[in-house]
Structure 1
């Protein structure tokens, strides 16, 4: 097949490369002139034959909305836009409705695999009409792992990004559990080989996973993780997962706690814990302070 790829960063660029390796023709556009094939969306559309397929791999929010708005003026009825970023599923429905009057089709696709996807294949989670999904199926087949699996048509428009959102929420919880296990073992005098423990769990245990493989690899490179700062950003899907849980009255304590732990990681000195310290001092005389040479809190007396 021949398709356009908008956004040739770490994900989009590797996806385009994998598609080309599988025999598809990809016309790529990016703001970086070093990686793009055409200099504008208009040139990209001109380079494709109708009915066209254009896959977006740009940041969610205004970049995605702007690209869709511009493409809506350039594409023809029967053309298909695939939104492969991490848009909110509610926005997907708005996007599809806005394109419907022009006869432009729309799929939302959650993509998982990170920088390893080009080699190992991607997880592809699709939302949209069955006829549109079938039309793009050769592209999905090329992106998913060679040994099979890694693909679902999850439902109508919005379903692809909804299940990717839940996937990322689960990922938050799994990562937080590994992180807490690391800290606990590192703090305990009884464990001499924390990296070796994680390595041993990679085979034969119920917690073996790709995330565990990646953690073991990171610990091999830096056993104490001294080269990293304890700061974790959230990309939005964790917040949306928690909000969806609230909307549907579904308890999600592990995912919620993992999201809040990321918020806590960004605080140099927690205002909330300052309040706790102040209250303990007021009712129990448990005064604490910071020394100038040690960031850890130490008792005054």
Structure 2
């Protein structure tokens, strides 16, 4: 199939390569001369403007966005939609908030332009292993895009699916990432407990390797844990600072709106927030209060 891509970064570039391997033609918007060279070397047709991108595609056009959630998506859609015609499709493959996706879909529908949300997981390993893809949108439009999803997924019949109407793909990916927060937190805490049991002098990489086969906690995250411990057993040089990209927050907010208890995901998010506070005022206050009511010693900086 013939499609255009906007956003050739950490995931967009490898996704384009996977599509090219299956014979799809990919035209991509490139903003720098260095990017032009890299894209051309991989077989992508680079263009310099949205107008050029749209003109290179045959109607009905497919334009795939791999750009940061939020204003960047709105700005791109606002500039892109006047260039498209009825029947064209915009696919948002990033991690947009599903409510924004529903809003964009309704707005574009009035112009006859279809909007498909593709919640995409796989990270830097997607080129080799394929991507897990959760698709939201009109059934007929998603079916038209089937060859693209089959090429990006681990197998044509595995790892992807049409999960519901507009917004459902990004909603499902949001919850997926919330679950990921909890799983990562559990692995981190478990390995920290083992590291602090000094009398056993455990080889944490060895333990991770043992658990990778036959254990009920085996997973791809455990595979990545083993890889990280193999490369850097003591995690030297890594700051205890954990970022978040938004999906965990949205999952917790949705759980509250739906009156669904999600303590593990919520606490995992809070732990990430706490990791960024190197001068924790709340912990200082706790220490001061213990000193006030019980005369307990305070540790000085």
Q: CA deviation at 1:100?
A: 1.2
1:164 aligns with 2:173: yes
Aligned to 1:10: 10
Q: Deviations over 1:147-194 (max 9, x none)?
A: 741112110000000000000000000000000011111111243212
Aligned residues: 291
Please tell me whether residue 197 in structure 1 is matched to residue 207 in structure 2: yes
- Distance in 2, Cα, partners of 1:232 & 1:287: 30
Aligned to 2:132: 123
The answer to whether 1:144 aligns with 2:153 is yes
Unaligned runs of 5+ in 2: 37-45
1:177-230 CA deviation, whole Å, 9 max, x = no partner? 000011111111243212211111000000111100001000000001012111
1:179 aligns with: 188
Deviation at 1:286, TM superposition (A): 1.2
Give the alignment's TM-score, normalised by structure 2. Answer: 0.95
CA contact (8 A) 2:290 2:296 kept: yes
Counterpart check, 1:270 vs 2:280:
yes
Question: Who is 1:218 aligned against?
Answer: 228
Q: Which residue of 2 aligns with 1:53?
A: 62
**Cα displacement (A) at 1:289:** 2.4
Contact 1:33 1:39 in 2 (8 A): no
* Deviation of the 1:290 alpha carbon: 3.0
The answer as to 2:213 corresponding to 1:228 is no
Aligned partner of 1:108 in structure 2 is: 117
Task: Determine which of 88, 98, 112 is the counterpart of 2:97.
Answer: 88
Separation (CA, whole Å) in 2 of partners of 1:248 and 1:287: 44
Alignment correspondent of 1:32: 32
Structure 2 contact 122–130 (Cα < 8 Å) conserved:
yes
Task: For residue 269 of structure 1, report the CA deviation from its aligned partner.
Answer: 2.2
- Check if 1:285 corresponds to 2:295: yes
Aligned counterparts of 1:191 and 1:207: Cα–Cα separation in 2:
22
The whole-number CA distance in structure 1 between the counterparts of 2:108 and 2:288 is: 56
Contact preservation (8 Å) 2:150, 2:156: no
TM-superposed deviation, 1:64: 0.8
Paired residues of 2:136 and 2:169 also in contact (CA < 8 A): yes
Aligned-pair Cα RMSD in Å: 1.1
Cα offsets for 1:17-54 (capped at 9, x unmatched): 11001110000113233224000111100000000000
Is the 2:90–2:113 Cα contact (8 Å) retained in structure 1? Answer: yes
Range with bigger deviation, 55-64 or 280-289: 280-289
Partner of 1:298: none
